[in-house]
Structure 1
């Protein structure tokens, strides 16, 4: 049996990391099953999970993948005046359809990910709200054409498990950094009922909300909630995401990479980058750059080594711009306050 001793303010211990890894694979894994897998009590797993949430280290949320609903994902790069950049980022963080709102180190740019749920919502943001905002000087909208999926999601704690334990965890169903796996999806866009929408709102606040709680809120039975949740996951509409306070995990430099890659090498470069420990998201996009990636590094020398050694070894990259984030104001479903993640209510 493992000890339940952990410092409330220190870095994560082995059991904490194992819990996080299991949640990436199965965000709603029963604590009893996880305790049995890790040879600790269900109560120990529950206490550790509550501690991770209360310390603001991580948050589990249910997210809507707009692609099976018939809509694209976009990475937006927004230019503004330096003295207005922070205020713009704070305003964008309040938009429900925007995530990963960051103030870049250029001091006059804000990036975010847009997941519009309708054409009207997309056009309202890109054609009306942003162009009419006095702080906005220009917008570059990069549509995500293809997301490269890693065999192991960040924070990559697979090495802390035995082969048998990994087999019992099963196929990954969760994720991190707002990145649902791309798939063919259903033959036609999925229609969501009012009850579906209400359930998705609740899961956005707490991805581990009990079936009975959701049922009581939307007027269904718990078995019906479980069935519908499974259907939406199977259709690719619902996925579960983990937000992390990465600074508390030892990563002080994070940001974006904007790459130009020869078209014939685009797939190979994307597949290579997704295996790099520093990369948490990489996608082929439209726009003036055709590959976008998010990175996490321990410090600036680590970023330098990554660019010169790992990226420098890849054929096909013709241009690269690295833009560290001065501040990340919003992740998938949390706001960042100091070094803590705070769920959006």
Structure 2
């Protein structure tokens, strides 16, 4: 049986990585079930999970997919002067509709993802708040037309499981649906309360969610399942990649021939370095997020993996100088800040 003592080091062992993969696969998997699959105790799994959270390595959150609610996702690129860019990024990180707020290595550009929950909030951000901000010199908004689902979610630890263990894990339950329902979903005040709590803690117990919403625990479970099935709710993990042994994070902005766009996007989802890839509007029509061990690894990826794909006519690589906010959490240096 693996050692169940808390790990003070930021290094992750095999059991930690197996727990991470299981959470990526099913963010709310019961620890008793996971302990049985990994042939260890429920208490050991729970202690390891708490250690990963306390060391600022990961955070599980429930996320709202705005597409089934009738709203698009946008990737924003904002140019500033070098002396104001960090202040701009810090301000953007406080916006609830913005995620993945990143200061690029140029020191004068910030990127973020906007997931507005209403047309009014979208217009307020894109037409009023950002254009009028004194730090913003230029704004480019790329609408996400299509997200290419990965064949395996990063950090790709599936190889640490046997075929029998993977079968016991069952179908993937955390990945956002690729398409929304035929009928748009309306969210009640109780739905919003549940989603807000899941945003802070994706593994919040049903009893806690019931107390927050005024529902019974069985009703919470049913409604959560309905929202997941509708593609409105999905679960995501934020990682402190430096504490996992990765030193380079960035974005790729590709120009691809329209006839090759789908093939290139699908091919990139099989690359271990790629975390996210989507077809977008704008001057580049394919955008991807990438994580590499170091700059040499990034160079090999660009020249060998991307270089082997037909149809790419242009590429811009923008390494991250600092990530201030991920999907849900703020980063404090190289660790995830505690979510309250």
TM-score, normalised relative to structure 1: 0.97
Query: Which residue, out of 285, 300, 306, partners 1:305?
Result: 300
SS, match of residue 327 in structure 1? strand
Alignment of 1:80 with 2:75, yes or no, is: no
Aligned partner of 2:193 in structure 1 is: 198
Contact 2:103-2:109 within 8 A present in 1 as well: yes
Instruction: Give the drift of 1:265.
Output: 0.3
Alignment of 1:294 with 2:270, yes or no, is: no
Aligned partner of 1:119 in structure 2 is: 119
Aligned partner of 1:316 in structure 2 is: 311
Quote the RMSD (CA, aligned, Å): 0.9
- Point out 4+ residue stretches in structure 1 off by more than 6 angstroms: none
Instruction: Give the drift of 1:4.
Output: 2.0
- How far does the alpha carbon of each residue in 1:60-107 deviate from its partner, in whole angstroms, 9 at most, with x for none? 000000000000000000111111000000000000010000000111
Take 2:230 and 2:174, find their aligned partners in 1: how far apart are those partners?
A: 14
SS, match of residue 281 in structure 1? strand
Alignment of 1:243 with 2:216, yes or no, is: no
Sort the Cα spacing of 1:7 and 1:50 in 2 relative to 1 into closer, same or farther, 3 A: closer
Alignment of 1:212 with 2:207, yes or no, is: yes
Name whichever of 334-343 and 225-234 sits farther off. 334-343
Alignment of 1:277 with 2:272, yes or no, is: yes
List aligned pairs for 1:88-127, cutoff 5 A: 88-127=88-127
Aligned partner of 1:263 in structure 2 is: 258
- How far does the alpha carbon of each residue in 1:258-305 deviate from its partner, in whole angstroms, 9 at most, with x for none? 000000000000001111111100000000000000000100011001
Contact 2:6-2:47 within 8 A present in 1 as well: no
Alignment of 1:133 with 2:128, yes or no, is: no
Aligned partner of 2:147 in structure 1 is: 147
Instruction: Give the drift of 1:181.
Output: 3.9
Take 2:90 and 2:41, find their aligned partners in 1: how far apart are those partners?
A: 42
Aligned partner of 1:172 in structure 2 is: 172
Contact 1:102-1:328 within 8 A present in 2 as well: yes
Aligned partner of 1:341 in structure 2 is: 336
Take 2:136 and 2:339, find their aligned partners in 1: how far apart are those partners?
A: 25
SS, match of residue 76 in structure 1? strand
Take 1:7 and 1:231, find their aligned partners in 2: how far apart are those partners?
A: 37
Aligned partner of 2:162 in structure 1 is: 162
Contact 2:101-2:324 within 8 A present in 1 as well: yes
Name whichever of 8-17 and 280-289 sits farther off. 8-17
Take 1:136 and 1:338, find their aligned partners in 2: how far apart are those partners?
A: 24
Aligned partner of 1:182 in structure 2 is: 178
TM-score, normalised relative to structure 2: 0.98
Which residues of structure 1 form unaligned runs of 5+?
none
SS, match of residue 242 in structure 1? strand
Instruction: Give the drift of 1:7.
Output: 3.3
Contact 2:6-2:51 within 8 A present in 1 as well: no
Which residues of structure 2 form unaligned runs of 5+?
none
Aligned partner of 1:331 in structure 2 is: 326
- Equivalences, count: 340
Instruction: Give the drift of 1:10.
Output: 3.6
Query: Which residue, out of 218, 225, 228, partners 1:230?
Result: 225
